[in-house]
Amino acid sequence: MQTTTKLVLLLAGSLLAFAQAVSADTIETKDGARLVGTVVKIDGGNVTLATAYAGNITVKQAEIVRIDTEKPLVVRLQGGTTMAGTLASEGDGKVVLSGNDGAITTGVDKLATTWGVGETDPAILAQQRKWSYEATFDLGGKTGNNEKFGVGAGFLAKLTGPDDTLQFYTKYFYEKSDGDVSDDRFLAGIDYSRNFSERVSWYARDEGGYDNEKDIDFYNIAAAGFGYDFAKRDNWKLTGRLGLSYRYETYGDPTMDDVKSAGLDVGLINYYRFNDYAVMNNTLSYVPAFDDFGDYRFLHDSNLEFPIGSSEWRLRIGVTNDYTSRPASDKERMDTTYYTKFLLRWQ
């Protein structure tokens, strides 16, 4: 009886293993390696194979001599032909795409991209604009010899397309020291840029707000010009900007003349992703007046971002410098702020 039971279990296990082998997709490479799993996608000269033993494996398409799939995928060939079906190798790098509309014999190297049946074409998705959002919040305080309490918040909405980016943003910070307001700042702005070649773009932006710490009742900077991407990779983008601006500032001090001047707009925007965890952001902005280049405003922000638990929550640590060459009376030219913020990003 026990022998019979063992025989049945052994037979069942063998059949299960055989069924899994039959239903699995397979890839064979030039060096003789045979990989078994599920072909997730073919794109950009790579084939992604999901396996139970090593997770997702990426194989260079140029190294593949055979590829066979059991479940149909929508396949687009390099020539543009698109059909849903399964892949079966014939040897020598040849593969047959079989579907309801017939069969096509082609080369493994001619498979341009794939996606799941019923899913949206990746080429269409790439052309669609997508909104993304982020909200920041920071809170600080101190008790003892003096009392201090500060709170800050910010929001960013970004619409990203294949050739353009539109951003709406706002920031606010408020701080009290020993019962007196020591800092009160607010700004809101819009920034639009559009590439008309791979690296060259044009942009327009406008930002306004107030800064009670600098005795600025209201300021506005409107600018437009051209940008150039010195670096443009998946993990690194460095963009320089040069344009014309109009700067307007009014002060609480009645003895200070308001600023109303056209000028230059010089900027540098840097984004660098070190790995899947750390991201560095840097921005520089220099806005001098045409009638007096000694009258200018310089802004700098640098920060590092780290994930907290999930991909939506992040921690941002950074520093900002705000330099006004001709501040209100009894005010410092340079304001430096060190900050730590919680950031929530979603789509």
Verify that 307 and 198 share a domain, yes or no.
Answer: yes
3-state secondary structure of 86: strand
Alpha-carbon distance of 205 to 162, in angstroms, equals 19
Distances (CA, A) of 319 to 13, 280, 302: 62, 12, 6
Verify that 47 and 61 share a domain, yes or no.
Answer: yes
In this prediction, residue 15 has a pLDDT band, given cuts at 50, 70 and 90, of very low
Work out the number of other CB atoms within 10 angstroms of the CB of residue 316: 19
Between 90 and 282, residue with greater pLDDT: 282
Among the residue ranges 8-22, 116-130, 281-295, the one predicted with the least confidence is 8-22
Mean pLDDT of 100-118: 90
Verify that 89 and 134 share a domain, yes or no.
Answer: no
Alpha-carbon distance of 261 to 325, in angstroms, equals 14
3-state secondary structure of 18: helix
Last residue in a domain, options 75, 107, 126? 126
Most confident of 154-168, 246-260, 327-341: 154-168
Last residue in a domain, options 70, 103, 126? 126
pLDDT at 201 exceeding the cut of 90: yes
Residues with Cβ within 8 Å of residue 118, at least 6 apart in sequence: none
Nearest Cα neighbor of 195 from 160, 163, 243 is 163
| pLDDT of the residue at 144 | 61
Verify that 41 and 90 share a domain, yes or no.
Answer: yes
Nearest Cα neighbor of 331 from 252, 218, 219 is 252
Total domains in the fold of the chain: 2
In this prediction, residue 121 has a pLDDT band, given cuts at 50, 70 and 90, of confident
Query: In degrees to the nearest 10, what's the CA dihedral of 219, 155, 140, 321?
Result: -40
Verify that 87 and 112 share a domain, yes or no.
Answer: yes
| pLDDT of the residue at 285 | 97
3-state secondary structure of 13: helix
Instruction: Give one word for 12, left, alpha or beta, with left for phi > 0 and alpha for psi -120 to 50.
Output: alpha
Verify that 295 and 340 share a domain, yes or no.
Answer: yes
Q: Which two tokens stand for residue 340?
A: 């730590």
Verify that 257 and 275 share a domain, yes or no.
Answer: yes
pLDDT at 164 exceeding the cut of 60: yes
pLDDT at 246 exceeding the cut of 70: yes
Q: Average per-residue pLDDT in the chain?
A: 88
Distances (CA, A) of 26 to 86, 141, 143, 293: 12, 60, 66, 67
**Which range marks the domain in which residue 105 is found?**
2-126
Mean pLDDT of 20-37: 81
| pLDDT of the residue at 3 | 52
Nearest Cα neighbor of 139 from 148, 130, 131, 147 is 148
pLDDT at 50 exceeding the cut of 70: yes
Mean pLDDT of 142-161: 84
Between 299 and 22, residue with greater pLDDT: 299
Instruction: Give one word for 173, left, alpha or beta, with left for phi > 0 and alpha for psi -120 to 50.
Output: beta
pTM flag (> 0.85): no
Among the residue ranges 174-178, 293-297, 304-308, the one predicted with the least confidence is 174-178
pLDDT at 21 exceeding the cut of 60: no
Q: What is the CATH number of the domain that holds 293?
A: 2.40.128.130
The residue written with tokens 């980016």 in the block is 165
Mean pLDDT of 321-337: 87
Nearest Cα neighbor of 268 from 231, 220, 219 is 231
Most confident of 66-80, 234-248, 319-333: 234-248
Q: Do you know the residue count of the chain?
A: 347
Mean pLDDT of 6-27: 53
Last residue in a domain, options 126, 159, 189? 126
% of the chain at pLDDT higher than 90: 62
Query: Which run of H or E residues covers position 277?
Result: none
Nearest Cα neighbor of 27 from 11, 43, 46 is 46
Q: Are strands 82-91 and 296-308 parallel, antiparallel or unpaired?
A: unpaired
Distances (CA, A) of 231 to 183, 198, 256, 273, 276: 37, 11, 42, 13, 19
Mean pLDDT of 131-138: 95
pLDDT at 165 exceeding the cut of 90: yes
pLDDT at 88 exceeding the cut of 60: yes
Alpha helices in the chain (DSSP H): 2-23, 122-127
| pLDDT of the residue at 146 | 65
Distances (CA, A) of 239 to 59, 74, 165, 242: 33, 37, 13, 10
| pLDDT of the residue at 159 | 97
Verify that 100 and 226 share a domain, yes or no.
Answer: no
pLDDT at 18 exceeding the cut of 60: no
3-state secondary structure of 122: helix
Verify that 196 and 100 share a domain, yes or no.
Answer: no
Verify that 184 and 210 share a domain, yes or no.
Answer: yes
Verify that 156 and 243 share a domain, yes or no.
Answer: yes
pLDDT at 11 exceeding the cut of 70: no
Q: What is the pLDDT of residues 173-196, one digit of tens each?
A: 998 887 777 788 999 999 999 999
| pLDDT of the residue at 13 | 45
| pLDDT of the residue at 47 | 93
Verify that 136 and 158 share a domain, yes or no.
Answer: yes
The residue written with tokens 């109009």 in the block is 246
